[in-house]
Amino acid sequence: MLNIIAKAEHTHDLTKDEIVKLLATDEYNQELFAAADRVRKRFVGDEVHLRGLIEFSNICKQNCLYCGLRRDNQNLKRYRLTVEQIIDFARKAKSYGYKTIVLQSGEDSSFDVPTMQHIIREIKAMDMALTLSIGEKTREEYAAYKEAGADRYLLRIETTDKALYEALDPGMSFENRMRCLRDLKELGYEVGTGCLVGLPGQTLESLADDILFFKAIDADMIGIGPFIPNPDTPLAGAKGGTFTLSLKVMALTRLLMPDINIPATTAMETLDPHGRIIALQSGANVVMPNVTEGEYRQLYALYPGKICINDTPAHCRACITGKINGIGRKVSAGYGYRQKKKIGQ
């Protein structure tokens, strides 16, 4: 097992069987996490990139079984920020020192292309990098957002197991999800994707396929987090994912994709009070604090127990900066684009 970890650290390549072996045993976890941390330090350094997250609508036309924003959830108070609110939150985020804004929402079709282009241009005029996370769109829509100035797009595959994907995402097509990722890459976006760990019916083999898929498409950012069952969804009684397995999938992703950006996800801290810091010490180099204000932080209810929902954006910024500095790392002053490096550099 130590030879497999060493191989991953030095060649950034593993077979599916080798990945499964590492996922199947917890005996060598600390060695795995330490190797991922060394690769992180060597390829992306000690700076941590902060992305200010604006959750601008919890309205979604999709009906994914695992998600609290699903269309059929009648227990959720719905909201949609105005264009002015979104731009105002972005302006405040800039004043807190953020260099990147992430605009995230459910698949809310009321934000048409001209509206999104206006929002994108206003935020780009503030000298910010901009990531969109707004779901499946046509190639033409993606091209229009890119033309307006969007830099990155986050679209998690959640699972590369086609049968499982289509069982958990009724009415959605695995092929269309793949088409979206392909279009985004071809249009010149920095592409982010990722998976949920611990979905009902998911296997270690499936998780290994996810990691190899991320590498095959040369994704620029990978977000990995545990599946946390939401009581207002059909999967309310499911077991859910574990912090440790999520951390292992993340660490293996770092070992195989040494120069990408990997966030320490909020969901990890929902399962472990030190989750984001542990993730930053196991391969992650990005944190995405919420800069949405007021009750909206609570209403973007993907899963229960979400952290920091009662905090202000200013408090979150100060808190995470203190935690990052506390482990000998520093907050980046840059925009946080992926710096591609050849293996061996």
Alpha-carbon Rg of the chain, whole angstroms?
A: 19
Tokens standing for residue 319: 């808190």
Residue 170 above 70 pLDDT?
yes
DSSP 8-state class, residue 255: H
Residue 337 in domain = no
Residue 338 in domain = no
Q: Are strands 47-50 and 330-331 parallel, antiparallel or unpaired?
A: parallel
Spatial CB neighbours of 328, under 8 Å, sequence gap ≥ 6: 46
Three-state DSSP class for residue 50: strand
Residue 83 in domain = yes
What residues make up the domain containing 46? 2-326
Residue 332 in domain = no
DSSP 8-state class, residue 108: -
Q: Would you say 208 and 19 are in contact if contact means Cβ atoms under 8 Å apart?
A: yes
CATH of the domain at 160: 3.20.20.70
Residue 161 in domain = yes
Tokens standing for residue 179: 């088409």
Residue 345 above 80 pLDDT?
no
Sheet holding 100-105, edge to edge: 52-57, 100-105, 129-133, 152-154, 190-197, 221-226
pLDDT at 311: 87
Q: What region, left, alpha or beta, does residue 309 occupy, with left being phi > 0 and alpha being psi -120 to 50 degrees?
A: alpha
Task: Tell which residue, 193, 244, 236, has the closest CA to residue 216.
Answer: 193
Residue 344 above 80 pLDDT?
no
pLDDT in tens, 72-118: 999 999 999 999 999 999 999 999 999 999 999 999 999 999 999 99
Q: Is 152 annotated as a binding residue?
A: no
Residue 343 in domain = no
What is the total count of domains within the chain? 1
Q: Is 158 annotated as a binding residue?
A: yes
pLDDT in tens, 229-249: 999 999 999 999 999 999 999
Mean of per-residue pLDDT scores for the chain: 96
* Dist. CA 86–CA 145, nearest whole Å: 16
Task: Tell which residue, 345, 322, 312, 299, has the closest CA to residue 76.
Answer: 299
Residue 331 in domain = no
pLDDT at 342: 80
- Going from the C-alpha of 184 to that of each of 149, 179, 291, the distances in angstroms are 14, 9, 26
DSSP string, 293-338: -TTHHHH--SSTT-TTTTS-HHHHHHHHHHHHHHTT-EE-SS----
pLDDT at 330: 97
Q: What is the SS3 string spanning 64-107?
A: CCCCCCCCCCCCCCCCECCHHHHHHHHHHHHHCCCCEEEEEECC
pTM of the model: 0.97
Tokens standing for residue 325: 């500095």
Cα atoms found within 13 Å of the Cα of residue 112, Cβ hemisphere only: 1
Q: How many residues does the chain have?
A: 345
Percent of the chain's residues with pLDDT above 70: 99
What does the pLDDT average to over 52-57? Answer: 98
Q: Is 64 annotated as a binding residue?
A: yes
Residue 174 in domain = yes
